[in-house]
Amino acid sequence: MKFSTNAILSLGLLFTLAVSSCKKDDDTETTTPETGTSFISVVNASPGLATYNFYMNDVKVNAAALPLGGTVPYAQVNAATYASKFTSASNTESLLTKSITLSSTGVYTYFLIGKVGELDGILVKDEIAGVGTQVAVRLVNLSPDAPALDLVVKDGATVITNQFYKSVSSFVAMEPKTYTLTVVDKSNGSVKATLTDVVLGAGKYYSVLVRGMVSPSQTEHPLAAQLIVNL
């Protein structure tokens, strides 16, 4: 794998995650030492109005609380097993605690998903390799009430198909240029979200994140698509 050091090592704060243990529910959980380092990014895809802080081994990772669609760019950490937790912006009490294992040289995105009271986390190993002069795009369906979705170029080809809730597709190569991308219901072709005139640059990796609710409550965001630059 080849990475831009400046692009990935964007949060020096994460280098403090070399701590060897953490406190969780009055028990001490020790990380599993491995050789080498990993890279991790964090994305809030929970459809509620709340904002969240993310911790690894009781070290807060994000500088500001993450709203829906908020991201922590890739940063380098020791390859190990960590106790991770999400909290509200105003309280350090855990709303979701999970053990996550990051292997040596692995590149990961950790998504916070689910409605308030039903929070969960998905750790995805990102298969990133040199894309050359093309671009790489994936579709991430994290809308709890969305149908199976396709990613389609407006007036053009279907790029990715049949992504259900909690699905994270593989990266697909495309030509670098300006696109209007539509997210459509696989069953009937109805457009659920549109990204208009997005410029996809050569050599870059992008995620089309579908988040929010098709039928939102007063405390939830409506469904929308968001373009995230991974690298």
- Could you tell me the CATH number of the domain that includes residue 86? 2.60.40.1120
Residue 95 inside a domain? The answer is yes
Lowest mean pLDDT among 15-24, 43-52, 71-80: 15-24
Residue 230 token pair: 């991974």
130 within some domain: no
For the full predicted model, state whether its pTM sits above 0.75.
yes
User: Same domain, yes or no, for 32 and 97?
Assistant: yes
117 shares a domain with 92: yes
Tell me the pLDDT band of 19, cut-offs 50, 70 and 90: very low
Q: Which helix or strand (DSSP H or E) is residue 5 part of?
A: helix 5-8
Out of 82, 104, 125, pick the residue that ends a domain: 125
pLDDT exceeds 90 at position 119? yes
Which position has the higher pLDDT, 34 or 78?
78
pLDDT of residue 76: 94
Cα dist from 94 to 88, 116, 159, 218, whole Å: 8, 13, 38, 24
- Banded model confidence at residue 94, pLDDT cuts 50, 70, 90: very high
Mean per-residue pLDDT of the chain: 88
Query: Which of 4-8, 29-33, 55-59, 136-140 shows the lowest mean pLDDT across its residues?
Result: 4-8
In a domain, 217, yes or no: yes
CB atoms within 10 A of CB 169: 19
Angle at 47 between CA 43 and CA 51, to 5 degrees: 60
pLDDT digits (tens, 9 = 90+) for 201-218: 999 999 999 999 999 999
Which whole-number Å values give the CA distances from 28 to 10, 21, 97, 123, 204, in the listed order? 30, 7, 14, 22, 40
> How many independent structural domains does the chain possess?
2
Which CATH number is 147's domain given?
A: 2.60.40
Q: Tokens standing for 39? A: 């890279």
Residue with more model confidence, 75 or 14: 75
User: Taking 70 as the threshold, does the pLDDT of residue 32 lie above it?
Assistant: no
Q: Are strands 37-44 and 107-113 parallel, antiparallel or unpaired?
A: parallel
Residues 113 and 15 in one domain: yes
What's the token pair of residue 68? Answer: 């829906």
Instruction: Report how far residue 168's alpha carbon sits from residue 122's, in angstroms, rounded to the nearest whole number.
Output: 10
pLDDT tens-digit readout, 144-199: 999 999 999 998 999 999 999 999 999 999 999 999 999 999 999 999 999 999 99
